[in-house]
Amino acid sequence: MIRVLEPGLQTTVQDAGRAGQMRYGIPPSGPMDRPSFVLANRLVGNAEGAAALEFTLMGPRLRAEAPCTVAVTGAEAPVALNDAPAPAWTTLVLAAGDVVKIGAARTGVRGYVAFGGGVDVPPVLGSRATYLRGGLGGMRGRALARDDAFRLGPTAPVRRRTVPAASRPQWGGETVLRVVLGPQADRFTDEGVAAFLGSVYEVLPQSDRMGARLNGARIAHARGHDIISDGIALGAVQVPGDGQPIVLLVDRQSTGGYTKIATVCSFDIARVGQAKPGQRLRFTAVDVPEAHRLLRESDAALARVELQETAS
């Protein structure tokens, strides 16, 4: 059992996501930064999609009511175990009564806290992922609150391991996102497409798990910004009438009637999810075969990460 002493900012339960429900208007949810989420679960001996916590900008303070293992990954944030500094990206062993606290993110936005056995909350529509707007999954469809408690699933003994420094992502600075143009790139002027690919965009504070709102050079439409509503893919870049792009993310709507100039490749979604307000983003176009090649390389690189043993 884990007791929530302080919930942090928008700390939710997430697993690999809720598949097959978009037809009913329910997005997949799941982690914004999948690689960090996967590595957190590996560190505590879980399946890669096991339920864990995702926090935003400020982490929670949690007390173990029984012995367990925990790992913190994602955004760069200080970790303390019983008020003593503890390493992130490393398996930590907690005794009953131990308190782990994660502070404010220095770089990045979202961090992950995985426990051996996974967070054991009731599945909803086949997933434990929290969808806040719909009030589904996780801790009764909401973010964690003070004095919440949740159980962990069964787990086997776990070795203490760490993710090598070279395999840990670096956040911050100007970020380049790979995109495939379309599905409505023809609804923009040549100058609008050039502005999209040639300009710097700043992440706005109104961004959330539904979408990242950006501000920068106006993207001009050729024949208006409205279309007959169609499906929204992960990473779709909608451009409403004001000409400012919105990158749609894991809690996106299922359909939309604004033109979409491009789609951010899935392997770059974590970069969007970890971009703080005010951070600068650029877009560069790749074709579909190149996107497939980059996806295979990204998946292979994550699979090749070898956790290193640490001293007990």
Domain map (residue ranges) of the chain: 2-163, 175-302
Nearest CA to 52 among 28, 74, 67, 24?
Answer: 74
- Closest residue by Cα to residue 199 from 155, 158, 153, 245: 245
What pTM, to 2 d.p., does this model score?
Answer: 0.94
How is domain 175-302 classified at the CATH fold level?
Cyclophilin (2.40.100)
Is the pLDDT score of 222 beyond 90? yes
Does pLDDT of 70 surpass 70?
yes
Q: Looking at this protein, which amino acid is placed at residue 251?
A: D
For residue 192, the one-letter residue type is G
Residue 299: what are its φ and ψ, rounded to 5°? -65, -40
What pLDDT does 50 receive? 97
pLDDT at 102: 98
Residue 15's closest CA among 164, 126, 167?
A: 126
Q: For residue 38, name the pLDDT band (cuts at 50, 70, 90).
A: very high
What's the pLDDT score for residue 156? 77
115's tokens: 């426990």
Mean pLDDT, rounded, of the chain: 95
Each residue's pLDDT tens digit, 180-215: 999 999 999 999 999 999 999 999 999 999 999 999
pLDDT at 312: 59
Q: Could you report the per-residue pLDDT of 77-128, keeping only the tens digit for each?
A: 999 999 999 999 999 999 999 999 999 999 999 999 999 999 999 999 999 9
Token digits for 131? 């969808």
**φ/ψ (deg, to 5) at 75:** -55, 145
pLDDT value of position 157: 78
pLDDT tens digit string along 9-24? Answer: 999 999 999 999 999 9
Give the separation between CA 201 and CA 204, rounded to whole angstroms. 9
C-alpha dihedral (44, 46, 51, 54), degrees to nearest 10: 40
